[in-house]
Amino acid sequence: MSKLVAPHGGKGLVCCKLEGAELDAEKKKAEGLKKIEISSQVKGDLIMMGIGGFSPLDGFMTKSDWKGVCEDFLLADGTFWPVPVMLDAAKADADAINEGDEIALERNGEVYATMKVAEKFAMTEDDKKWECEKVYKGHGEESADDKFWEIALEDHPGVKMVMARKEFCLAGPVKVLSEGEFPEKFKGVYLTPKETRAIFDERGWADVASMQLRNPMHRSHEYLCKIAIEVCDGVLIHSLIGNLKPGDIPADVRIKCIDTLVKGYFDERNVVQGGYPLDMRYAGPREALLHATFRQNYGVNRMIIGRDHAGVGDFYTLFEAQEIFDKIPAPAEPGKALLCTPLKIDWTFYCFKCDGMASMRTCPHKKEDRVILSGTKLRKALSEGSEIPDHFGREEVLDILREYYSTLTEKVEIKMQSAASGENM
């Protein structure tokens, strides 16, 4: 019997992807249905519903789900959930759809799912602003009441995505027909919750930590993973392989970096590398909760949360993503509460005087003795061709990144937040 944490929601893995004859029949039916063009984010959400990564979700949220998630971190049935999962539709499409209709959801000519429309509701500008203030606004300098809307519409990618949603939302259960390009493009790295659970069970793991990655793996990430391995059975290094914002480093480059680092500096028996098909939402602390929620479905019971997890600019304070775990509701009904707990680790860095990796909890030395490590700082230096400080990353990894940046003809300006620069240390 598996020793792993149960999937979120108390219903086991809820997998909405059809197989075999059912899949063939639904694909044929989809040809005759009204088609809605979906965003890249919706595509990723559908695939996660298909493979059970978003258990217990079996479709897109109703207005009461949306309101409950934004306001209280709870779906309408009382299950914990931290961020809205919405299907938006233009007014012209929504006007042609009635509740009870079946529709097909496609992107760039490929049908990813069918859906039975249970609810259709308007999403006004005020609704979207309210969601942004509830979900994306933090306690950092740029989230101050007199600054947030002045800055967020230009500089917060998550807010920009919400405000760009179309005028209506459609809710209802889905039948997923495709996992897109991920199984082939990221063969061996793209893993479903069933697959990671089977790997963990085979290794006899019960206590599993996960490292979230959307940046190349530097020395701080390496150190965090090694701390987790010391106190857990093993670690899942779990990379986002969906879409990122301009200036972020593509998944195939990041995976190559992780491969190199794991092979050279880890005991591979204690590490699993995987990828998941979502786009970043850039929701800061709320996204940290989402990372823990769907990692529970992958068999993970501890989520590594360090400094500025999933942060954007200076919208969030340094450890807001850790603190939010202490403020969420704990539904009494079995299975509805979040069971994946945070592994909270302080700001980590290389210290010349300590002659090794350290944290604010262990190092007594001054800022001048420390190499401040952050993915943003690394991307900025590489993009500008600046020298990378000693002990920032492993040379084998930096060589891969330098090669990637040498091929770019257009470079995106990387905004340096105070957290990444070390100003607040």
Q: What is the dihedral of CA 49, 51, 56, 59, to 10 degrees?
A: 20
- Measured in whole angstroms, the distance separating CA 230 from the mean position of its chain's CA atoms is 25
- State the Cα–Cα distance between residues 394 and 217, nearest whole angstrom: 9
Sheet holding 370-372, edge to edge: 356-359, 348-351, 370-372
| Residue 157 near residue 282 (C-beta atoms within 8 A) | yes
Half-sphere CA count of 282, side-chain side, radius 13 A: 20
Centre a 10 Å sphere on the Cβ of residue 122 and count the other Cβ atoms it contains: 11
- State the Cα–Cα distance between residues 251 and 404, nearest whole angstrom: 12
Q: Name residue 211's beta-bridge partners.
A: 237
Helices and strands: H and E segment counts in the chain: 16, 15
Q: Name residue 236's beta-bridge partners.
A: 210, 272
Q: How far apart are the first and last CA of the chain?
A: 46
Options 165, 197, 215, 307, the catalytic residue? 215
Half-sphere CA count of 416, side-chain side, radius 13 A: 16
- State the Cα–Cα distance between residues 8 and 230, nearest whole angstrom: 26
Q: Are strands 370-372 and 356-359 parallel, antiparallel or unpaired?
A: unpaired
- Is 297 an annotated catalytic residue? no
- Is 215 an annotated catalytic residue? yes
Options 165, 197, 214, 295, the catalytic residue? 214
| Residue 356 near residue 369 (C-beta atoms within 8 A) | no
- State the Cα–Cα distance between residues 88 and 91, nearest whole angstrom: 10
- State the Cα–Cα distance between residues 78 and 287, nearest whole angstrom: 19
| Residue 134 near residue 70 (C-beta atoms within 8 A) | yes
Residue 287's H or E segment, with its range, is: helix 285-297
Tokens of 88: 């938006």
Strands (E), 44-133: 59-60, 87-89, 102-107, 110-116, 119-122
What residues are labeled active site?
A: 214-215
